[in-house]
Homo-oligomer: A and B are copies of this chain.
């Protein structure tokens, strides 16, 4: 262990008026919100990759962070784990998430990779026992190493498919062993750079076969967590197959897996796909595939994945409103898939970025709950559609064009539009955010 976080206290709730940077202003874990402690609504997780594995590089510059645990040895991997668990405890986050490549140095081949992963998993198990921190989800990094440059499951080379499948197995095993509540698949390289060298039909079939194997293996080993796909439209590739929630749904329906797989929705990925975060959440809920969220913030005007810590409470309230309307999280949670700006060099930055994000989530959640408890918004929505609850409305849904035309003619149906009242509803929401 080092003194990296030395002197940073465990963060406590002090209320909205505190001026202490190292305190929560809104996140009060045991405060009851709609009948449940806030911590059980939010189910916060910290992400290993951004906070502990990322060196601060961007496409025009290299490493800016200097961390005592950077390096390629197992000793440093364990030091990294020590520091990570110290951060989890300082913040009081109940969960964390990781990729295999975040936690162990890259080996010479699959066998070495998996041995190293197992060693770290054992080390994690001890630390989880000791601290009570749990695993929200595990996943395999099938995009950073050059072998994955043309995809993992969708690679034109079947050997890469095989390497990927084997790696997924080890990561599912690790997730199971650590009691993870979900297993996530993000297909960063499952897409294409150019259609000129791509056989989309083959690649789609490969992706379907891999997903079926993942589901089968889940059942085989008795993993009772959820399998989650994380949609993203592009970056690193020109086009990713898991473009958005609607695209994933069509894919799941095509392979008959819509009852087996759900989605992990990231704010930034929603934005890059041209959707609001709340759109993606609402759609997943309506399609029955809502799973978990990756909370962060994408700059609306930067066309790449900025993965900033969230801070706009009015927007976050709309997101948690959809989460609450979906019944809240079951296996899912709020994972901070957010990274420091590369100029934020200090340990304090790492802690305070999470503190601010957690506070913004808590404020958003409370606002969403207040909107639901007030009832005005949902009441207005229901009354707008009230005509569909009439006999006429119900009858239409199972009618046919010929009958409807006759009704329109006979009754001279000539509907007059009614105000959609958007601004009034926006004002209503602003009362609570």
Q: Is A146 an interface residue (CB 8 A)?
A: yes
Least distance between A377 CB and chain B CB atoms (Å): 7
- Does any Cβ of B come within 8 Å of A273's Cβ? yes
Residues B236 and A60 in contact, CB atoms below 8 Å apart: yes
Residues on B with C-beta less than 8 A from A194 are 341, 420, 422, 425-426
Cβ-based interface call for A5 (8 A): no
C-alpha spacing A64/B150, complex, angstroms: 11
Interface of chain A: mostly helix, strand, loop or mixed = helix
Known: A197-B422, A420-B150. A145 touches B235 (CB 8 A): no
How many angstroms from the CA of A416 to the CA of B189 in the assembled complex? 16
The answer to whether B193 and A236 touch across the interface, beta carbons within 8 angstroms, is no
A63:B422 contact, CB within 8 angstroms? no
Contact A392 B158 (CB under 8 A): yes
Cross-chain contact A157 with B387 (CB below 8 angstroms): yes
Interface status of A130 (Cβ within 8 A of chain B): no
Give the size range of A's interface with the partner.
35 or more
Docked CA distance A62–B278 (Å) = 30
Which of B166, B235, B345, B416 meets A59, CB within 8 Å?
Answer: B235
Interface string of A63-97 (1 = CB under 8 A from B): 11000000000000000000000000000000000
Complexed CA–CA distance, A106 and B416 (Å): 16
Flag whether A355 is at the interface (Cβ < 8 A): yes
* Cross-chain contact A423 with B195 (CB below 8 angstroms): no
When chains A and B are docked, how far (Å) is the Cα of A83 from the Cα of B390?
Answer: 38
- 0/1 interface trace, chain A 290-331, chain B, CB 8 Å (1 if under): 000000000111111100010111110010000000000000
Contacts of A341 in B (CB 8 A): 193-194, 420, 422-423
A312-B315, A408-B166 given as contacts; is B150 within 8 A of A197 (CB)?
no
Q: Jot down 22 A-B pairs with beta carbons below 8 A, ordered by A.
A: A59-B59, A62-B146, A109-B414, A110-B409, A110-B414, A149-B343, A158-B390, A163-B413, A165-B401, A166-B407, A168-B401, A193-B341, A195-B279, A197-B420, A220-B400, A234-B301, A246-B246, A250-B250, A274-B301, A276-B301, A311-B314, A313-B314
